[in-house]
């Protein structure tokens, strides 16, 4: 083959390479925002030790959970991280949920939880233990988001509250129910959020509703009707007992985290009151 023909073939190949490279660069340019936007792609940083990698068969999605530092929600947090190998975003709502007080600590009403300090301490202790015993959770447990304020959309708040109470799932003596905000926040942001409800009070109207309307998908329990006010809340623990949770935690060696969780609503000098419903139901 002549030298001129060889040069022609080489030049032809170079043109093809340049065209392909140009197309690739154009595609990258057009999609650059989505490539660098953390909200459009969830990444696990590749900085974990090799010996930990077998435990990190992780879903790329972020899984949300309402966390209080209590026994039930702490169990679910650990279950998601350790058993299900998920990347988890905890959400702590410090906004008063079941009364009209500005802050619960300064509220003069008798039946108002006063355990925010103890809950925060419990959550910090759980995180420390998680990182010690399961180091990979330093990457899969995201910093806790604290919700301190109401949703600013007053029109949405009004319509949602009307729809929420229309279903008559709550005792009439309670003028404001904690599930109002928890359901509203999830619905407003269109985020499925796990909640630590065991269903130990199955005889209640709410308990009966869950019993008849939950369906299992992806190792979780969802409401069949996403348009229901509770539609974006998940109930993964429904139907299980605290005894079952404790036994499972021992099997997977995270019962230590449950031991430092906090349940009491009315602590006395930083100690459980041993009288409130949460104290009476606690098993560790």
Q: Which residues pair with 216 in a beta bridge?
A: 221
Q: Predicted confidence band at 141 (pLDDT cuts at 50, 70, 90)?
A: very high
Same-domain check for residues 30 and 72:
no
Domain holding 10, by residue range, is: 3-34
Residue 43 domain-assigned (yes or no)? no
Contacts of 33 (CB under 8 A, 6+ apart): none
* Residue 7 confidence (pLDDT): 53
Beta bridge partners of 233: 193
Mean pLDDT of 108-117: 70
| Domain-located, residue 77 | yes
pLDDT for residue 278 is more than 50: yes
Q: What is the largest CA-CA distance in the chain?
A: 99
Q: Would residue 162 count as lying in a domain? A: yes
Same structural domain for residues 15 and 82? no
Q: In this predicted structure, what is the pLDDT of residue 14?
A: 64
Matching residue, tokens 């909640």: 195
Q: Once rounded to an integer, what is the mean pLDDT over residues 77-85?
A: 97
What are 208-221's pLDDT values in tens digits?
899 999 999 988 99
CATH code (residue 234): 3.40.50
Question: Is 180 part of a structural domain of the chain?
Answer: yes
Q: Which of 100, 88, 111 is nearest to 150 (CA)?
A: 100
Structural domains of the chain, count: 2
> In terms of C-beta density within 10 A (0-12 exposed, 13-18 middle, 19 or more buried), how is residue 140 classed?
buried
Same domain, 120 and 26: no
pTM (2 d.p.): 0.76
Say if residue 267 is in the same domain as residue 135.
yes
Phi, psi torsion values for 29, nearest 5 degrees = -60, -45
Tokens at 165, concatenated? 């109470």
Confidence of residue 203 (pLDDT cuts 50, 70, 90): confident
Residue of 188, 213, 186 lying closest to 199 (CA atoms): 213
Among 36-50, 59-73, 153-167, the least confident range: 36-50
φ, ψ at 128 (rounded to 5°): -60, -45
The pLDDT score that the predictor gives to residue 82 is 97
Average pLDDT over residues 27-56: 40
Q: Is residue 44 part of a domain?
A: no
pLDDT at 260 over 80: yes
Q: Is residue 269 part of a domain?
A: yes
Tell me what pLDDT residue 108 has: 57
In a domain, 45, yes or no: no
CB 233 within 8 A of CB 193: yes
Higher pLDDT, 67 or 110: 67
Identify which has the larger pLDDT, 124 or 265: 124
pLDDT tops 50 at residue 107: yes
* 73 pLDDT tier (thresholds 50, 70, 90): very high
Q: Are residues 150 and 73 in the same domain?
A: yes
The reply to whether 46 falls in a domain is no
């Amino acid at each position: 083959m002549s030298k001129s023909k060889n040069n022609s073939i080489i030049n032809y190949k170079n043109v093809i390479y340049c065209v392909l490279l140009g197309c690739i660069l154009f595609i990258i340019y057009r999609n650059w925002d989505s490539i660098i936007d953390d909200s459009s792609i969830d990444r696990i940083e590749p900085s974990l030790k090799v010996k930990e990698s077998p435990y990190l068969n992780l879903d790329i999605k972020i899984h949300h959970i309402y966390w209080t530092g209590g026994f039930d929600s702490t169990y679910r947090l650990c279950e998601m991280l350790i058993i299900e190998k998920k990347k988890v975003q905890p959400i702590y709502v410090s906004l008063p949920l079941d009364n009209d007080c500005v802050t619960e600590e300064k509220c003069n009403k008798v039946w108002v939880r006063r355990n925010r300090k103890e809950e925060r301490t419990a959550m910090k202790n759980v995180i420390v233990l998680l990182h010690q015993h399961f180091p990979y959770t330093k990457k899969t447990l995201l910093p806790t988001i604290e919700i301190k304020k109401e949703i600013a959309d007053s029109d949405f708040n009004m319509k949602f509250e009307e729809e929420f109470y229309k279903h008559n799932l709550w005792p009439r003596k309670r003028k404001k129910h904690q599930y109002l905000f928890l359901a509203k926040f999830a619905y407003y942001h269109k985020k499925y959020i796990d909640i630590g409800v065991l269903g130990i009070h199955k005889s209640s109207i709410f308990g009966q509703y869950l019993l008849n309307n939950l369906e299992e998908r992806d190792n979780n329990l969802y409401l069949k009707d996403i348009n229901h006010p509770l539609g974006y809340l998940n109930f993964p623990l429904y139907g299980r007992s605290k005894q079952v949770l404790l036994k499972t935690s021992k099997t997977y060696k995270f019962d230590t985290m449950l031991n430092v969780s906090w349940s009491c609503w009315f602590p006395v000098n930083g100690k459980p009151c041993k009288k409130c419903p949460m104290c009476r139901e606690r098993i560790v």
